[in-house]
Structure 1
Amino acid sequence: MTKRAVITGVGIVAPGGVGREAAWDLLSSGRTATRRISLFDPAPFRSRVAAEVDFDPAAAGLTPRQVRRMDRAAQFAVVCAREAVEDSGIAGEPVPPERTAVALGSAVGCTMGLEEEYVVLSDSGRRWLVDHSYGVPHLYGYMVPSTLAVEVAHEVGAEGPVALISTGCTSGLDSIGHGVQLIEEGSADVVIAGATDAPLSPITAACFDAIRATTPNNDDPEHASRPFDRDRDGFVLGEGAAVLVLEEKAAAERRGARIYGEIVGFAGRSNAFHMTGLKPDGREMAEAISSALDQVKLDPTAVDYINAHGSGTKQNDRHETAAFKRSLGEHARQIPVSSIKSMVGHSLGAIGSIEVAACALALDRQVVPPTANLKNPDPDCDLDYVPLVAREHRMDVVLSVGSGFGGFQSAMVLARPGAVPYERS
């Protein structure tokens, strides 16, 4: 019998709130955490807004040595892992270290640390040949993204499989999917899974400016992220992390763990089409959705809520609207859909894990977060996108999707505990 993976712990560091409850309070209230960038001077850039985390590493429990050693992305991940482990109650259980795994996602690794060090080593870009002697002792770690996963493994004492999953903006979904597979195949009993990114730096702003993907709506930062709205003009960058504790279901039930939900399906596809472009028919995302549902023989009508990628770009929002219709048929028009990027921005690789964490909390509390700032719906985005205000809604099955540069399309299906009796196909 295939082992089944459940979520027993949730840790979140997100714009507008550090900690699981603070993050959920923001999402369920429909507030936005988007503002003018304060982490660096954004004046030279086309897009000068972002969703920043008000994060004090010392207040979050990190030691001066940890703060000195770790990039901001690693700090986020470690703080999330601590909260998730505490929430799960697994720390007091006799789980062998070699049966504990880490699956962490990140799209851009230690961007902030690398840029800060380059500025110093190159004398603010004036020297072509950099002087390595001015680098911090941990510079090599910034250059190797897997150190993010290693920091989490050190924190939780994981001696089983440890991996860094980097698949662009689907990294946060794919890392959790990898963790689920480790549980199902019997390679681990507990997996610390999630993703982190802290990309808010001048190089990131310049890159997205160059392709005009981010919003130029600098005069109204609070309402700049507008997924599915007729007047949307690009996404808002964000930062943050989320980490889940995944356990084998039977073991979690034996110890009386609180179970937020079960991850019953996961699939990914690539469009093999364009680095940033999307085909309007949404076929690849639709195939990922159908595959994830087919794994547990779920009919599309079983889906009660969709957490959309909802980046707020013209092509993405229309692409996934088409994907929902293609994969779910007429039922797509009956399902509430929302994008939390309207409130916490797009934290690249981290956002998929933040969205899965939000889905777990939505299942637990039976509340659908809203799509903030959706005042003028795009006629081409004609589904129920839960505008402005959260909605109490009966949910047994939730779908979360992600879309990333490079053509990555991922879909994950979560279910309320006991709602989906199944054998995987």
Structure 2
Amino acid sequence: MSRRAVITGIGAVAPGGIGRDAYWDLLAHGRTATRRISRFDASAFRSQVAAECDFDPVAAGLSPQEVRRMDRAAQFAVVAAREAIEDSGIDVGAGDPGRTAVSIGSAVGCTTGLEDEYAVLSDGGRNWLVDHTYGVPHLYGYMVPSTLAAEVAWRARAEGPVALISTGCTSGLDAIAHGVQLIEEGAADIVLAGATDAPLSPITSACFDAIKATTPNADQDPGSASRPFDGRRDGFVLGEGSAVMVIEEAGAARRRGATVYAEVAGFANRSNAFHMTGLKPDGREMAEAIRVALDRARLDPGAIDHVNAHGSGTKQNDRHETAAFKRSLGQRAHEIPVSSIKSMIGHSLGAIGSLEVAACALALRHQVVPPTANLTVPDPQCDLDYVPVTAREHRMDHVLSVGSGFGGFQSAMILSRPGARKEAVA
């Protein structure tokens, strides 16, 4: 029988909550973690709000040497992976290390470390020719994004396939999907899969300022700055964070008595080949990714009980998604509760897909749909049930999570409650 992949451990470093339980508490209570940027002086920038992680690497258990060696994004991933391993109860050193794999997504790699080191090497940008001898010994590692996956592999003693997936804002979804594929094809029995990004830096802010994608509101309440599907929205809010999951072959997880959060039942991705940052209003490619994910999960649209939207908080994205849901789910789209957790934790670029999958798995566990915070003036062109302001208890067997990324990437993943799919587990 075919091998199936299940999530047995979750770790999270998120705005407003370090650790899986704190993260879910924030989502379930509809609290927002967006605030004025404190990691650097943002007064010169168009957008001055972000969703920052209150993260102390030493308090999180990292040694001074690890703190010195690792970029902030790598620190997030290692801490999240450690929590996921502990949560799963699996002994990663007991089995064949060649059967343990790692799949980590990231959109912007070691941005924080690279920018900090450039500022030192160039004397604050004054020198065009830089003196490399001022750089930290691990500067080369910052320039190679795969070091993020390598750090997790070292922590997990994984000697199987190790990959860094970088597909922009769908990186988190795509990295988890790659991990699932490793399980399904028999290349691994255990995968640490997820994503990490720590993009809150002057260079990232300048890039998004230039294309006017982030909210310009500096004077409003920062907690209400991220407003997906709301008629007053004016751009997304940058965030940071990481989520890593332990994914196992379902039969092995059952035999060792593991607690299963969810089965990853189906996944698909498409590209619109249209524009580097733009989206066509019909949502055709996202709809196609959803359709194929449903086919692979052997489910019809009527089986979906909740949709975690990309919901970035731009008019272009929100209307594109609304069209995609109607196109792929038909009349059922009007009956399914949809929400965007970016309203609470911002948009952490490549990491957000993994944080959203973690949220979906936790939603299945608790049978609660997180809300879309700050949604008080609905956009009439976004006319679905976007679960405004307050979380909702709701019976769920299957949830759909989608992502949309620069470059035209569109991804869709379906998670199922343990035992909800009719086929016998191998």
TM-score range, shorter chain: over 0.9
Structure 2 residues not aligned, in runs of 5+ = none
Q: Residue 192 of structure 1 corresponds to which residue in structure 2? A: 192
CA distance in 2, matches of 1:230, 1:41: 30
SS of the residue aligned with 2:279? coil
Matching of residues 103-252 of structure 1 within 5 Å? 103-219=103-219, 220-252=221-253
Aligned counterparts, 1:25-104, within 5 A = 25-91=25-91, 94-104=94-104
Q: Which amino acid aligns with 2:300?
A: D
Residue 295 of structure 1 corresponds to: 296
Whether the aligned pair in 2 keeps the contact of 1:296 and 1:423 (CA below 8 Å) is no
Q: Distance in 1 between matches of 2:96 and 2:83?
A: 20
Q: How does 1:234-273 map to 2 (within 5 A)?
A: 234-273=235-274
Between the two proteins, the alignment pairs up a number of residues equal to 424
The residue matched to 2:114 in structure 1 has which SS?
helix
Identical residues among aligned pairs (%): 78
Q: Alpha-carbon deviation of 1:306?
A: 0.2
Alignment correspondent of 2:385: 384
Find the counterpart in structure 2 of residue 330 from structure 1. Answer: 331
Q: By how many angstroms is 1:92 displaced?
A: 6.5
CA distance in 2, matches of 1:270, 1:85: 33
Deviation at 1:93, TM superposition (A): 7.3
Distance in 2 (CA, whole Å) between partners of 1:227 and 1:421 is 35
Q: Is the 8 A contact 2:297 2:414 kept in 1?
A: no
d(CA) in 1 for partners of 2:422, 2:293: 15
Gaps of 5+ in 1: none
Question: Which residue identity does 1:322 align to in structure 2?
Answer: A
**SS at 1:90 equivalent:** coil
CA distance in 1, matches of 2:298, 2:265: 10
Q: Report how far residue 94 of structure 1 moved.
A: 3.2
CA distance in 2, matches of 1:94, 1:79: 21
On the 8 A contact 1:78/1:151 being kept in 2, the answer is: yes
Aligned-residue offset at 1:191: 0.2
Asked if residue 274 in structure 1 is aligned to residue 254 in structure 2, the reply is no
Once the two structures are TM-superposed, the CA of residue 316 in structure 1 deviates from its matched residue by 0.1
CA distance in 2, matches of 1:92, 1:276: 40
In structure 2, what is the Cα distance between the partners aligned to 1:91 and 1:29? 33
**TM-score (normalised: structure 2):** 0.99
Give the match for residue 359 of structure 2: 358
User: 1:393 is matched by which residue type in structure 2?
Assistant: H
Q: Is the 8 A contact 1:237 1:347 kept in 2?
A: yes
CA distance in 2, matches of 1:273, 1:304: 31
The aligned amino acid for 1:144 is: V
Shift, 1:217, TM fit: 1.5
- Counterpart CA distance in 1 for 2:92 and 2:192 is 15
1:249-270 C-alpha deviation (Å, 9 max, x unpaired): 0000000000000001000000
Match of 1:401 in 2: 402
Q: CA deviation at 1:409?
A: 0.2
**Using the alignment, how far apart are the partners of 2:263 and 2:298 within structure 1?**
15
Contact 2:215 2:237 in 1 (8 A): yes
SS at match of 1:295: helix
Separation in 2, partners of 1:178, 1:301: 27
Deviations 1:347-396 (A, max 9, x none): 00000000000000000000000000000000000000000000000000
In the alignment, structure 1 residue 367 sits paired with structure 2 residue 405: no
Structure 1 segments, 4+ long, off by >3 Å, are: none
C-alpha RMSD of the superposition: 1.0
> Aligned partners of 1:168 and 1:22: how far apart in 2?
27
Cα distance change, pair 261–296 in 1 and its aligned pair in 2 (3 A):
same
